[in-house]
Amino acid sequence: MIRATVFYPSGEGRFDMEYYLNSHIPLAERLLKPYGLIRAEVDKGIAGGGPGEAAPFATIAYMIFENMEGLTKGMAAHDAEMAADVKNFTDLKPFFQISEILR
């Protein structure tokens, strides 16, 4: 399985969690399920590793796919539509990572 992870850093900037959970994630699920999206998960950062330390990321989203081919095809088909929706919930610059799930 493949995990696409999107990290939205904490700090200065706007992030509308309600819109993200109720509009953007359902949009991504609807568009990407035909390409093998198994599930999407969202974490809200609440603390860092040390006492009183802030979370380095405000939000982290995970999208689990059956395989890399499905992820690649789904993103090629719908990346522009999903990217156009980003302005509706944030002005933060996200970081992306694609990983193979080993366990």
Residues 46-83 pLDDT 10s: 999 898 999 999 999 999 999 999 999 999 999 999 99
Q: How far apart are CA 6 and CA 85, in angstroms?
A: 15
The helix/strand/coil state of 13 is: coil
Tokens of residue 6, six digits = 């999107």
CATH of domain 13-60+70-93: 3.30.70.100
99: Cβ–Cβ under 8 A, 6 or more apart, which residues? 2, 3, 5
Query: Residues 82-98: pLDDT tens digits?
Result: 999 999 999 999 999 99
Q: Are 3 and 45 in contact (CB under 8 A)?
A: no
Q: Domain residues of the chain, as ranges?
A: 13-60+70-93
Q: What is the predicted pLDDT for the residue at 12?
A: 83
